[in-house]
Amino acid sequence: MRPTFVRLCEQTIRRVAARYWLPPQDWEDFAQNAWLDVLTALARGRYDPRHGRLENWLYVVVRNSAVSFLRRRWRETRAAEPYPLELLPGRVTEEPTHRLECSGRIEAVRGALQLLATHISPTSWAVFRMRQLEQASIADVALQLGLSPGQVRTYDHRARRKLAAILARHGWS
């Protein structure tokens, strides 16, 4: 017997909630958000049977919903916490040597970024700059540069790996 769509969704939602360690008191809220995301994606025609099984597509949609849900919860709890006094402006808590050390690190990273820009292709640099420095989404970068999302992820990963190698080579890790 093949499972119905509703049963398949419920199983996937429960499986993802358990996998991402969602607290039991949040499961109902998460399930509502996940259902909304699934139905919205279906209404927008995001599922294409030629690109894989329904179960796999459903899992990806629900997993993305879980990640968004957890990020929202994290932001809500962080916003509710007051700032520690030592982070408030007007109070000097660090030694001058610490500030000098931080400025040295900033210069090292700046130098590594300039070196990176000369060692990778202009497309790789554009992807890295947009994703890591401007915090653009994969979809936005892909749209602006005329690339597929997979290409954006690949260019970004390779550029970050190259930057890590540059930093390690110069002892800036």
**DSSP 8-class letter at 142:** H
Domain end position, chosen among 47, 80, 113: 80
Q: Which residue has the higher pLDDT, 34 or 170?
A: 34
Q: CA separation (Å) from 160 to 4, 109, 120?
A: 43, 13, 11
Asked whether residue 11 falls in the same domain as residue 73, the answer is yes
Q: Is the pTM of this model over 0.95?
A: no
Q: Based on the fold, state whether residues 132 and 164 are members of the same structural domain.
A: yes
9 and 70, same domain (yes or no): yes
Please tell me the total count of domains within the chain.
2
Here the tokens at position 173 are 């890790």
Report how far apart, in Å, the C-alpha atoms of 95 and of each of 22, 63, 89, 100 are. Answer: 41, 45, 15, 9
Provide the CATH number for the domain around residue 103: 1.10.10.10
Q: Which domain holds residue 146?
A: 98-169
Residue 173 pLDDT = 57
Are 106 and 75 within one domain? no
CA distance 117 to 129: 9
What are the pLDDT digits (tens) for 127-170? 998 988 888 889 999 999 999 999 999 999 999 999 888 888 87
Final residue belonging to a domain, choices 80, 109, 126: 80
CB 141 within 8 A of CB 130: yes
Q: Are residues 71 and 112 in the same domain?
A: no
Quick one: tokens of 25? Answer: 């008191």
pLDDT tens per residue, range 54-71: 888 899 999 999 998 888
- Burial zone of 127 (CB within 10 Å; 0-12 exposed, 13-18 middle, 19+ buried): buried
Residues 6 or more apart whose Cβ sits within 8 Å of residue 37: 61, 62, 64, 65, 68
